[in-house]
Amino acid sequence: MTAVSTLVTAVAVASAVLTGCGSSQTAESQNGVTTLRYQGWNDQVTIAELAENLGFFDGKVKLDWVGNTISGPQDIQSAATGQTDFGGAFGGAVAKLVSAGAPITAVVNYYGGDDKTFTGYYTPNDSPITKAADLVGKKVGVNTLGGQNEADIHNELKAAGLSLDQIKSVQLVALPPPNTEDALRKGQIDVAALGGQFQQRALANGGLRPVFTELDQYGKFNGGQYVFRNDLIAKNPDAATAFTTGVAKAIEWQKTTPRDQVIDKFTQIINARHRPNEDTSTLKYWLSVGVPSKYGQISDADFKNWESWLQDTGAISGPLDPSKLYTNKFNQAASTTKAGS
């Protein structure tokens, strides 16, 4: 099944779920507090989790963790089908799902790349791979299929003049981010997509070099957005506002708080939640939140990096219209801020 057909199937499921299950598939509100179901990431603290811990939801939103994911596309599909109430993925996955008919809207950026935090595509120092064209026929470890790693590789190889058939020959191997470095060092993959704390841990261990990085490709950029289903927004606009604004404040908190204090806060959150098989040892490698725009405000430009990939994979047939994908109206923190500033 292709990525596009998978997304169309997800949308069909979403329609059935939302039609057949009624209120059981919408966020629950009681005494002015709305409970939002969500998926987390192992060994990491999401911006939404940080916002709740810091009290930035002003008592109007409570998070209900239902499990973990390693896939942005899966995360927003879960939100679209009513299995969760919000999810986050890179802008290309958001555009693909909306184009397939999913009733979702992006409300705030939650990740991206800056001078300190970005994804790179790393190989051992003694590897014969030195440039993008060398990835043809090779195995690349990524966090998920259909995610930004896939789009990055497509964009880099297309810019190098490779054909779509050559690009398709790159074998993408989906791996949990905490385990990707180990797979590379064991020779199970030729190149590893590494970002954030897992990238910094791998570089500290030595012996790796980048083939290319997001920073090389895009400069500073907003990569992905949190989304809500449109029916949830319509029924719970106050919760959407409290959540979006809280996340926006948590982004700026990370930008303005000393690094050691941010790491301490992450460590406290993970230790207090008592989830199975979590490890805080990589938190010491955290460098920045990696969201360039002030308060995570979204702009059309946040989706344009993925237009070529969307067209070449058949997700869209013409120009991308980003204005149909997002709104900033729930982001009160950014209401007087220009996007990207």
Angle at the Cα of 70 from the Cα atoms of 209 and 173, rounded to 5 degrees: 55
pLDDT at 340 over 60: no
Q: How many domains does the chain have?
A: 2
Q: Quick one: 90 and 161 in the same domain? A: no
Q: Are residues 176 and 258 in the same domain?
A: no
Q: Does the pLDDT at position 276 exceed 80?
A: yes
Distance CA 45, CA 162 (A): 38
Question: Are 170 and 240 members of one domain?
Answer: no
Task: Give pLDDT, residue 32.
Answer: 82
Q: How many Å apart are CA 296 and CA 194, to the nearest integer?
A: 23
Looking at the domain assignment, is residue 341 inside a domain?
Answer: no
Average pLDDT, the chain: 90
Among 218, 247, 263, give the residue marking a domain's end: 218
Residues 162, 83 share a domain = no
Residue 264 shares a structural domain with residue 325: yes
> Among 256, 253, 333, which Cα is nearest to 45's?
253
Q: Which residues touch 195 (CB under 8 Å, ≥6 apart)?
A: 117, 118, 119, 120, 177, 214
User: Left if phi > 0, otherwise alpha if psi is -120 to 50, otherwise beta: which for 220?
Assistant: beta
Please enumerate in sequence order all residues whose Cβ is within 8 A of that of 240, keeping only pairs 6 or more positions apart, or say none: 107, 228, 232, 233, 330
Are 80 and 11 in contact, with CB atoms under 8 Å apart?
A: yes
Q: Which of 218, 240, 267 is the last residue of a domain?
A: 218
* Cα Dmax for the chain: 61
Identify the domain containing residue 132 by its residue range. Answer: 120-218
Burial class (CB in 10 A: 0-12, 13-18, 19+), 267: middle
pLDDT in tens, 181-228: 999 999 999 999 999 889 999 999 999 999 999 999 999 999 999 999
Residue 339 in any domain: the answer is no
Does residue 226 form part of some domain?
Answer: yes
**Pair (188, 242) in one structural domain:** no
Would you say residue 282 has pLDDT above 70?
A: yes
**Burial label, 2 (beta-carbon count in 10 A; 0-12, 13-18, 19+):** exposed
Residue 42 in tokens: 């192992």
291 and 210 share one domain = no
Do 90 and 236 belong together in one domain?
yes
CATH code of residue 62: 3.40.190.10
| Phi (first) and psi of residue 336, to 5 degrees | -115, 20
Rounded CA-CA distance 253/273 in Å is 21
* Residue 17 confidence (pLDDT) above 60: no
The pTM of this model reads 0.86
Residue 197 counted as domain residue: yes
The model's pLDDT over 225-238, given as tens digits with 9 standing for 90+, comes to 999 999 999 999 99
Are 172 and 150 in contact by the 8 Å Cβ rule? The answer is yes
96 and 60 fall within a common domain: yes
Distance CA 71, CA 83 (A): 15
| 237 and 308 in a common domain | yes
Residues 6+ apart with CB under 8 A from 274: none
283 belongs to a structural domain: yes
The last residue of one of the domains, among 177, 193, 218, is 218
Please tell me whether residues 143 and 276 are part of one structural domain.
Answer: no
Taking only the tens place, the pLDDT of each residue in 66-113 is 998 888 889 999 999 999 999 999 999 999 999 999 999 999 999 999
Burial letters 118-128, b for 16+ CB under 10 A, else e: bbbbbbbeebe
Sequence-distant contacts of 8-13: CB under 8 A, at least 24 apart: 8/100, 8/101, 10/77, 10/80, 10/81, 10/97, 10/100, 10/102, 11/80, 11/97, 11/100, 11/101, 11/102, 13/81
In a domain, 340, yes or no: no
pLDDT band at 168 (very low <50, low <70, confident <90, very high): very high
Query: Is residue 31 assigned to a domain?
Result: yes
Give the sheet arrangement for strand 221-229, strand by strand.
86-90, 221-229, 104-113
Lookup result for tokens 């012996």: 207
Q: Is 35 in the same domain as 96? A: yes
